[in-house]
Amino acid sequence: MLREPPDAADLLATARDVLLNELLPALPAEKALAARMVANAMAIAARAAAQDDAWEAAALARMPGDPREFAAAIREGRFDPGAAHHAEAAVLLDEITRARCAVSAPRALGKG
């Protein structure tokens, strides 16, 4: 609220457009991959800056134990199909992964 706009996501998106539309065509071919990687990094950072982090606290609150304990319990088979909380664990993992993909790999979600 008190920060000066435009915000981080806007700046990154705007800068990325300049990179792809103005700089990339002027670069030698052997630098194109590096420029595309920079553009990819900026897109991920822009999505991370724009994401509401509330999902993380909500996911942790529902998780049986902390992430390390949850991982260990999965390994021990305590959330196997047929176990009492299998379905809840599956839904929680889906929700966490969907939120992670929204920043890192949005194309993995249904669109791909």
Partner 1 sequence: MDDARRARLTEWLRAAAGDASLTITATSLLSGGAIQQNWALDVSGGRAWVLRTDNAATLAVSHGRAQEYALLRAAFAAGVTVPEPLFLCEDAAVLGAPFFVMRRVAGTAAGHRVVRSDTLGGGREACVRALGRELARIHSITPPRDDLAFLGAAPADPCAAFIADQRSALDRQRLPRPVLEWGLRHLERTAPAAVPPVLVHNDFRTGNIMLDENGVTAVLDWEFALWSDPHADLGWLCAKCWRFGSDAQEAGGIGSRAALYEGYGSVDDARVRWWEVAAHIRWASIAVDQAERHISGVERNLELALTGHMVPGLEWEILRMVEARDAA
Q: How far apart are CB 19 and partner 1 at their closest, in Å?
A: 13
Number of helices and strands (H, E) in the chain?
5, 0
**108 near partner 1 (CB under 8 A):** yes
Residue 81 burial (C-beta neighbours within 10 Å; 0-12, 13-18, 19+): exposed
User: By C-beta, is 6 or 85 nearer to partner 1?
Assistant: 85
**32 near partner 1 (CB under 8 A):** no
**44 near partner 1 (CB under 8 A):** yes
The rounded distance, in Å, linking the Cα atoms of 96 and 102 is 10
Binding mask 58-77 for partner 1 (x = CB under 8 A): ---------xx-xxx-xx-x
